[in-house]
Amino acid sequence: MQIADSHCDLLAYLLYDEGHQYDEVARCSVPQLKAGNVIFQTLAIYTNTSEESSSTSGYLQSELFKDLVEEETELRLINSAEDLEDLEESRQIGVMASIENASGFCAEGEDIADGFKNLEAIIDNVGGRLLYISLTHHHKNRFGGGNYTRTGLKDDGCRLLDYLDGRGIAVDFSHTSDKLAYDILNYITTQNLDIPVMASHSNLRTVHKHRRNLPTEIAQEILERGGVIGFNWIKEFLGKNWGYYIKNIATAFDTFGEDAAICMGTDFFHTPQLEDEEDSDFFEGYQTAADYPTMVEALYATNLFNEQQIENFTKNNLLNFVEKVLVNY
């Protein structure tokens, strides 16, 4: 079964670890994506928040993205609905870029006008489109509060939402504080902004109570506004065992309906690890993109989901969201 995934950190690995797109330690290397039967992958531009360097890191990752799609024959840049339609025949992996943390184009000490110029340069590098932007990461920045804070939407966050209006770039809720999430939704509504919404790599707080996971009310809002929610594989956000991943999927269908737009948002990233150490971030057997076939088998083995639900979760829901954005903007 083919996989469409809304978040991985291959670009950050290439920049910060100076690795190669074929390195297995990346967890989402090109060979691993191929082995996992991935047909579509969002490559996130991830940066820490800083006074000066974060926007430089963001731009450098956009250049790495550009180089990848120009040099790597296994990858295909997606910037139109027609590109999506051609993926089945081309047998390539469709890729789009995203920005995880808006500090990646505007550092804390930069003028906001210069930040938007940086954003335009990044968009140009990645082929003219971004799938989504998250305002924050774990902590607060000039745009708002991350998921480990109680800070809401700031003035520059309002300016960023105004910028996104009508551009076909979704706002990502995966790293918002609850206050920021509600503020974003309210601002979009009160200002009548045309911005798609999604959570690219978040699980459900009702399954595992962690502030990185989505409360039911926010998840409901995202889905009702036509967005998708991608579930990740990270131990800390799942719970005691791999079964909590299955529980997230089952809970979503039970809570939001059997056609709920949930998808893969696995969030593979590289962490240094000794060979004899237990993996601290991912459960055994579910540690790289090459493990997707094992995951599909596990979904079928539960007998909780029918084939259409599994196919929608693993591929269709995300691709339908991407296609809708590409067609409408």
Domains of the chain and any CATH numbers? 3-328 (3.20.20.140)
Q: 318, 6 in Cβ contact below 8 A? A: yes
Confidence (pLDDT) at 275? 65
In DSSP notation, 85-138 reads: HTHHHHT-EEEEEEEESGGGTS-TTS-HHHHHHHHHHHHHHTTS-EEEEES-SS
Confidence (pLDDT) at 276? 65
Confidence (pLDDT) at 272? 83
In three-state form (DSSP H/G/I as H, E/B as E, the rest C), the secondary structure along 241-271 is: CCHHHHHHHHHHHHHHCCCCCEEECCCECCC
Distance CA(142)–CA(56), nearest Å, equals 17
Confidence (pLDDT) at 106? 97
Whole-model pTM: value is: 0.97
DSSP label at residue 1: -
Give the pair of three-digit tokens for residue 64. Answer: 């790495």
- Give how far Cα 156 sits from Cα of 113, 114, 117, 149, 201, Å: 10, 13, 15, 17, 24
**Which residues of the chain fall short of a pLDDT of 50?**
none
The shares of helix, strand and coil residues in the chain, as percent rounded to the nearest 5, are: 45, 15, 40
Confidence (pLDDT) at 169? 98
Please name the residue that has the structure tokens 């709920």.
260
